[in-house]
Amino acid sequence: MTKSSGTCTLVGAGPGDPELLTIKAFKAIQSATVLFVDDLVSDAIVAYASPTARVVHVGKRGGCTSTPQAFIEKLMLQAVSEGEQVVRLKGGDPFIFGRGGEEMEHLRAAGVNVQVINGITAGLAGITALDAPLTHRDHAHGVIFLTGHAKPGRDTTDWHQIATTARDGKLTLVIYMGVRGAAHIQANLLQGLPASTPAVIIQHASLPQQRHAVTTLGELHATIVREGLGSPSVMVIGDVVRGVAAMGQEPLRLQA
């Protein structure tokens, strides 16, 4: 593919709250002539686009009908070849379970120079909204970010080993797209972590409709079912979750 005057930028829109956008992301959105927007990007963020920009919604949400990845990449390539200033707007961060790596590889293989602008990932924004950290010198020496929704046919996550590593290393587990597989994840993590390990499920992180439930690993799946929590949610497992209770948070918070 020959290079054109078109550009392509993968932009992290953050967890949803428009005030959590970076200045660089805001500028890229405003200057785009075409935006390919993921399903989890809030309307308030899309509203920052130029009135003359073309907005194409290419929904990508686990468990729902999604626009095929190959088709999205084809659309992006076509727009760049036509000289458009393309922004691929993704929820969270493009490089944290946002398939940004796949898109960058495909576009660069076709001769397109791709820029990436990071966004605040939901796993960080969600726990921060509850006034708890992901790391703490006394409780968590590191973080493991994981997906609970592996590529079809490639579910090779060794949850037992991860649990053992988290226990021995005092690590926080942050699991994205894990609600549907929570029973399987819980059963395997319990092979290396005690049932009393604190956990929290956070749905719609940073948005007005955010809700969460504080529980334990042993009650993780039952809590999700009882409280009717669904996607998009992140699960945070580890001693840092004790900070949520310490700050006086209710076990389940609903915001209108």
Nearest to 147 by CA among 115, 121, 168: 121
Q: CA 98: distance to chain centroid?
A: 7
Mean pLDDT of the chain: 90
Domain with CATH 3.30.950.10 in the chain: 122-254
Choosing from 38, 90, 104, 235, the catalytic residue is 38
Which residues are paired to 136 by β-bridges? Answer: 140
Give me the pLDDT at residue 4, please: 56
What secondary structure does DSSP assign to 124-178, as a single string?
A: HHHHHHTT--S-BTTTBSEEEEEESSPPTT-----HHHHHHHHHHHTEEEEEES-
Tokens 């920052």 correspond to 48
Q: Please tell me whether residue 201 adopts helix, strand or coil conformation.
A: strand
**Active site (annotated) includes residue 177:** yes
Class of domain 122-254: alpha beta
Give me the pLDDT at residue 237, please: 98
Give me the pLDDT at residue 67, please: 80
Give me the pLDDT at residue 253, please: 38
Which residues are paired to 253 by β-bridges? Answer: 212
**Active site (annotated) includes residue 38:** yes
Q: Which amino acid is at 231?
A: S
Q: Which residues contact 239 (CB under 8 A, 6 or more apart)?
A: 136, 139, 140, 170, 172, 197, 198
What's the rounded mean pLDDT across residues 24-31?
98
Q: Which residues contact 126 (CB under 8 A, 6 or more apart)?
A: 15, 202, 205, 206, 210, 212, 234, 236
The b/e string for 141-165 (b: 16+ C-beta within 10 A; e otherwise) is eebebbebbeeeeeeebebeebbee
Choosing from 60, 90, 93, 235, the catalytic residue is 60
Choosing from 76, 90, 104, 177, the catalytic residue is 177
Higher-pLDDT residue of 61, 168: 168
Q: What are the pLDDT digits (tens) for 80-130? A: 999 999 999 999 999 999 999 999 999 999 999 999 999 999 999 999 999
**Active site (annotated) includes residue 76:** no
Q: Are 84 and 70 in contact (CB under 8 A)?
A: no
Give me the pLDDT at residue 240, please: 94
Q: Which amino acid is at 26?
A: F
Give me the pLDDT at residue 251, please: 43
Q: What are the pLDDT digits (tens) for 42-85? A: 999 999 999 999 999 997 555 455 688 899 999 999 999 999 99
Correct CATH for 7-117 of 3.40.630.30, 2.40.50.140, 3.40.1010.10, 1.10.3720.10? 3.40.1010.10
Q: Which amino acid is at 72?
A: I
Q: What are the pLDDT digits (tens) for 214-250? A: 999 999 999 999 999 999 999 999 999 997 855 555 4
Domain with CATH 3.40.1010.10 in the chain: 7-117
Higher-pLDDT residue of 63, 135: 135
CB atoms within 10 A of CB 46: 17
Helices (H), the chain: 23-31, 43-46, 69-81, 100-109, 122-129, 159-169, 182-189, 220-227, 242-246
Give me the pLDDT at residue 143, please: 97
Question: How many Å apart are CA 49 and CA 47, to the nearest integer?
Answer: 5
**Total residues found in the chain within this entry:** 256
Give me the pLDDT at residue 142, please: 97
